[in-house]
């Protein structure tokens, strides 16, 4: 863990999306130095599903030793952004650091991404980052050791990071392109512009909405991003700029090599985050660990993966389904299951309507997610030895539709493990 040094005392940080998650964690870390924090977010009233408002975050910041200015800000609205920047300058005398953390996500393919969702991601991620940076730069140039830090990934141009969620990748990479361009543009002004991205999934309210509450064991806490951000923000802005940093790599440079303290469950296998080259290696390792079985065992599994055993799985799911699971999942799934001999099997699972149901053939309602996989991998998924995320990313599962809704199915599969 990083120890506060006091280097951010009296400095002013403008943080978008600071009412919860990574943004708030960075704010609290800086607050312990005695920094001034502008809590720029759009949640003023309590959200039914997401914790925290600009006012509750401000109270936590002040309790940690900082000063807080809660500002109701929609980064899509130029007037809203400009007004909050003016308030910050009036309250604290300037702006020294900008954290572009606000972001929107939809892990959907082209045909499953409504233009309204496309526009939302681009307006918040790319345009919002550009707009807030533009408004803050005149004040950053006058600031002390000024930094812009975007919570965005390295610009990895491998097609695999575009093919399943091209709209999201474009929007998120827009934030990273701001780093690429603005770091050079502002170099002579001494303003550092860097990106920071987590090596693993980070447990936040948004992550829980994507993958369910049980996904937390596979994640690290937001504090690892806060600590690595603190290290970056206390480095010399004239010499450290234009970098696409990874959280634990930043901490390793500071001599921290044991990251168990940041894990929700140090014994659990961590879920790697998107856009990193080692992502595939980690997934392949996970797959191999689950597939080291004697040929005779594999043959037995294959012979058992017929229509009867598939039907048994769906009957078990129907028995488990209830209104609570439906409310948490809200998705219709279609399964195209390839068997060793004979025609592919098609089954559906409705966890969007009533108390949940399942059946053979095509679903009567439009599927939110369609899975295509072998019967062997179908049983591995519902038996708990292979997660849908791992299967999808390693190419053992083809998926059409909303990846976030596919992730929600993992929780049900974990419950199924003891029932099959």
Structure tokens at 67: 């000063």
Q: By C-alpha distance, which of 29, 17, 332 is closest to 175?
A: 17
Per-residue DSSP letters for 274-339? Answer: TT-THHHHHHHHHHHHHH---HHHHHHHHHH-SHHHHHHHHHHHHHH--HHHHHHH-EEEEEEEE-
Q: Which of 112, 168, 230, 333 is catalytic?
A: 168
Residue 281, sorted as left (phi over 0), alpha (psi -120 to 50) or beta, turns out to be alpha
Count of CB atoms situated within 10 Å of the CB of 246: 21
Count of CB atoms situated within 10 Å of the CB of 6: 11
C-alpha span between 327 and 319 (Å, rounded): 16
Q: By C-alpha distance, which of 61, 69, 57 is closest to 28?
A: 61
C-alpha span between 397 and 292 (Å, rounded): 19
C-alpha span between 332 and 358 (Å, rounded): 10
Longest pairwise C-alpha distance within the chain: 74
Is 168 annotated as catalytic?
A: yes
Burial (0-12, 13-18, 19+ Cβ within 10 Å), 295? exposed
31, 65 contact by CB (below 8 A): yes
Burial (0-12, 13-18, 19+ Cβ within 10 Å), 207? buried
C-alpha span between 97 and 93 (Å, rounded): 13
User: Which residue numbers are catalytic?
Assistant: 168
């Amino acid at each position: 863990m990083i120890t506060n040094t006091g280097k951010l005392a009296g400095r002013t940080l403008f943080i978008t999306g600071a009412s919860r998650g990574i943004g708030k964690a960075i704010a609290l870390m800086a607050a312990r130095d005695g920094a001034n924090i502008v809590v720029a977010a759009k949640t003023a009233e309590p959200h039914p599903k997401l914790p925290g408002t600009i006012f509750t975050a401000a109270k936590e910041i002040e309790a940690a030793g900082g000063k807080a200015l809660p500002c109701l800000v929609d980064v899509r609205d130029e007037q809203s952004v400009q007004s909050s920047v003016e308030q910050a300058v009036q309250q604290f005398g300037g702006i020294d650091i900008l954290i572009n953390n606000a972001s929107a996500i939809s892990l959907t393919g082209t045909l499953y991404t409504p233009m309204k969702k496309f526009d939302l991601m681009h307006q918040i991620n790319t345009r919002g980052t550009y707009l807030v940076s533009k408004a803050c730069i005149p004040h950053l140039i006058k600031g002390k050791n000024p930094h812009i830090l975007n919570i965005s990934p390295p610009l990895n141009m491998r097609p695999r990071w575009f093919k399943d969620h091209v709209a999201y990748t474009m929007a998120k990479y827009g934030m990273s392109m701001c780093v690429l361009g603005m770091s050079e543009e502002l170099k002579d002004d001494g303003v550092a512009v860097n990106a920071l991205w987590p090596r693993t999934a980070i447990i936040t309210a948004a992550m829980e909405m994507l993958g369910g509450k049980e996904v937390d064991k596979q994640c690290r806490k937001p504090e690892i991003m806060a600590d690595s951000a603190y290290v970056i923000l206390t480095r010399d802005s004239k010499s450290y700029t234009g970098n696409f940093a990874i959280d634990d790599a930043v901490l390793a440079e500071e001599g921290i090599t044991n990251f168990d303290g940041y894990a929700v469950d140090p014994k659990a296998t961590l879920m790697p985050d998107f856009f990193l080259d080692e992502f595939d290696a980690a997934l392949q390792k996970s797959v191999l660990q689950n597939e080291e079985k004697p040929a005779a065992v594999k043959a037995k599994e294959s012979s058992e993966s017929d229509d009867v055993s598939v039907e048994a799985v769906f009957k078990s799911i129907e028995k488990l389904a209830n209104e609570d699971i439906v409310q948490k999942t809200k998705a219709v799934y279609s399964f195209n299951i390839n068997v060793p001999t004979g025609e592919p099997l098609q089954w559906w699972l409705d966890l969007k309507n009533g108390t949940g149901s399942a059946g053979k053939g095509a679903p009567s309602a439009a599927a939110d997610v369609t899975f295509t996989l072998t019967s062997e991998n179908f049983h591995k998924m519902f038996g708990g030895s292979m997660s849908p995320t791992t299967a999808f990313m390693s190419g053992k599962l083809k998926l059409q539709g909303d990846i976030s809704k596919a992730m929600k199915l993992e929780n049900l599969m974990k419950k199924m493990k003891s029932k099959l």
